[in-house]
Amino acid sequence: MIRLIVVEPEGAYNVGFIARLVKNFSVDEFYLINPKCNMQEAINFSAQGREILEKKVVIVSNYDDAIEDLDIKIATSSIADNEGDLLRKSIKPWNLDRFIEDNKKIGLIFGRESVGLTREEIMKADFLLHIPGNPEYPVLNLSHAVGIILYEVFKLRNVKKAETNEGERISSESIKLLDYYSKKIVDMLKRSEGDEYMYIALKRALLKGISNEVEARTIIRLLRKVYVKVSIAEGKSEDEIE
């Protein structure tokens, strides 16, 4: 399942064009967070996507409400791979194949036309996706960027329907447990400012590297053992450990 999320869009024309893309590429869900544009004007730009804005779009006021039930959250940005900035270490469109599965709820998150996504919003995602372009002018129009990514996802979904072996998929439950224990361990070990980025690095490495459910469950058992061991070392009884 694919959920397209656009945070505080400012241009009615972009919202209208994106609604058309939602229909073009069979996006399952379309969320707008606190749109800053005139929605009636956006409908005028939407052509055959009019029904998307009239009947399908979900408008919420809070970022967390749009992402809370997702298995994988992929933020996007034109600013990526800055030296020394782990948060902006990015994946590329051709890396999406390892995440796009019909049994997972995948969120594709796009930011404001003017300033994109905040660091806090990116931090709440699992990955940062960047579309490479001419380094002298890498910034794409919002609807153009959405179109590129939705085409890549549409292509991958149709290929995977024919090729994916059910046994090779990682379950939504395993993804949530990998995230849960990664955060728990880092929260117990972090000691100084910046240590929270260890959680981002660990989570991204695990989600990129684990290829099937057997591997996922094995790593979850390892993380659980580490979590329990550290908890006991910090003085918790086994009854107190979640």
Q: Is 89 helix (H, G, I), strand (E, B) or coil?
A: coil
pLDDT of residue 239: 64
Residue 68 near residue 95 (C-beta atoms within 8 A) = no
* Whole-angstrom distance, CA of residue 233 vs CA of residue 94: 43
Name residue 220's amino acid: I
Residue 114 is predicted with a pLDDT of 94
**pLDDT score at 229:** 87
Check residue 191 and give its pLDDT.
Answer: 82
Whole-angstrom Cα distance, residue 76 to residue 207? 17
pLDDT at residue 14 tops 70? yes
What is the predicted pLDDT for the residue at 90? Answer: 93
DSSP 140: P
Q: Residue 40's pLDDT is what?
A: 94
Residue 242 predicted with pLDDT over 90 = no
What pLDDT score was predicted for residue 61?
95
User: For residue range 145-201, what is the model confidence (pLDDT) as tens digits?
Assistant: 999 999 999 998 887 555 555 556 788 888 889 999 998 898 888 888 778 888 888
State the chain's mean pLDDT as an integer: 90
102's CB contacts (< 8 A; 6+ apart) are 1, 157, 160, 161
Q: What are phi and psi of 58, to 5 degrees?
A: -110, 120
| Tens digits of residue pLDDT in 85-101 | 889 999 999 999 888 87
Percent of the chain whose predicted confidence (pLDDT) is above 90: 60
Tens digits of residue pLDDT in 130-149: 999 998 888 899 999 999 99
Q: Is the pLDDT of residue 231 over 90?
A: no
Distance between CA atoms of residues 214 and 188, nearest Å: 27
The upper half-sphere exposure of residue 76, i.e. CA atoms within 13 Å in the direction of its Cβ, equals 28
The whole model's pTM is what?
A: 0.81
Q: Residue 101 has what pLDDT?
A: 79
d(CA 67, CA 63): 7
Task: Give bridge partners of residue 127 from the DSSP assignment.
Answer: 74
In this structure, the number of other CB atoms found within 10 A of the CB of residue 209 comes to 10
CA angle 196, 200, 203 (to 5 degrees): 130
